[in-house]
Amino acid sequence: MNTSSLPLAGIRVVEFTHMVMGPTCGMVLADLGAEVIKVEPVEGDRTRHLLGAGAGFFPMFNRNKKSIAIDLRSPRGLEVAIRLASSADVVAQNFKPGVMAKYGLDYAALSRLNERLVYVNHTGFLPGPYEHRTALDEVVQMMGGLAYMTGRPGDPLRAGTSVNDIMGGMFGAIGAMAALMQRAQTGRGQEVDSALFENNVFLVGQHMMQYAVTGEPAAPMPDRISSWAVYDVFSVKDGGQIFLAAVSDAQWQTFCDAMGYADLKADPRYATNNDRVRARPTLLPLLRERLAAHTADALAAVFERHGLPFAPIRRPEELFDDPHLNATGGLADVTLPDGERAGATARTTLLPLRLDGRRMGVRMDPPRLGQHTPELLAGLGYTAEQVAALHAARAVA
């Protein structure tokens, strides 16, 4: 893909980030065409070598980026970092409050060198009583109502992916793009703040509003009072499971016709959606008994043929073979930079959008540590001799 044709072509982003939230912001901007430079410690971002659930962090969130390794504790390395950051249109960071100021890499210091700079902070909390707490995705899910809503009553459960880290990075990218648009009018940059806790509260805002409107607290999702009668996971023949729904009176009638349930269609107890919701305690067991005679594939075929909502219950690893994802270009190859499988090819997911009919693809594999250090230093005006001296002093790698 021609980078110059992408929306953020010509925008330089320097990110001092790690884990998921900050790197997600950089990945979004990079996918949209920005030159994104990841500043790593000389020993490398520690997410390069995480195990278990963290094993996919680095290759997932650091494509389309350049890597420069700098020792910020070295005066010569810090000088490089400040020069690099002051050359940027956008700086993004997700360290604890006060860390960037300690190095003179905060907005107050860098904006004196570049008044056009947009500076994005990714934090646990916006400024306030909680701002100095250490936040993780799980922490804010617990205190922000999401774990309560996801788990069974009395058993709070975090969502099965890094929802706040990822969405917090996305909101950081949205804020950066908004600030760049405003800069085009004013000529000045600004500071942007995106926070995990506030992101989580935004996610559960619909449940807060439900309470404000009805006066009734929202029940955890496994124990909720559904707005629709048929809107559930059904265990069916041969041990299969499938999600089935009929969320309108027309869909209910279609469902009954498709499955041959003329008796249910004619039953006045099930005439309207609200009637069916009130009758769920008796209707659902009846449906479970009848649907158990069919396989999940057979039900999927019926529902697809009649335009009814349904979903097979898939595991993440099964999505690599999803025909829709593959047909629409939703997956792309990257070369893994680290670990036992370094150099191997893996499939990664792309941004879930198209611009002018195109998916935002992979232009650059996740970088090796310091892969772009020489070219970036040269671009900042360092001579070959100066670059060699910085390497010799371990100020960069």
Residues tagged active-site = 165
Count CB atoms within 10 A of the CB of residue 352: 8
- For 115, residues 6+ apart whose C-beta sits below 8 A from its C-beta are 187, 188, 189
Q: Where do we find the tokens 């997600």?
A: 24
- Cα dihedral 15, 17, 23, 24, rounded to 10, equals -100
Residues 32, 7 contacting (CB under 8 angstroms):
yes
Angle at 152 between CA 146 and CA 154, to 5 degrees: 90
Q: Which two tokens stand for residue 116?
A: 């056009």
How far apart, in whole angstroms, are the C-alpha atoms of residue 242 and residue 249?
Answer: 21
Distances (CA, A) of 151 to 110, 145, 207, 234, 301: 44, 10, 15, 19, 31
CA–CA dist 387, 57 (Å, integer): 30
Residues 365, 5: Cα–Cα separation, whole Å = 19
Residue 310: name the closest of 230, 214, 203 by CA.
230
What's the token pair of residue 217?
């607290």
The DSSP call for residue 267 is -
Q: 100-104: long-range contacts at Cβ-Cβ below 8 A with a sequence spacing of 24 or more?
A: 100/16, 103/72, 103/78, 104/78
- Determine contact, residues 203/195, Cβ cutoff 8 Å: no
Distance, CA of 168 to CA of 170 (rounded, Å): 5
Sheet of strand 310-312: strand arrangement: 230-235, 241-246, 310-312
Please tell me the distance from the alpha carbon of residue 117 to that of residue 306, in angstroms, as a whole number: 54
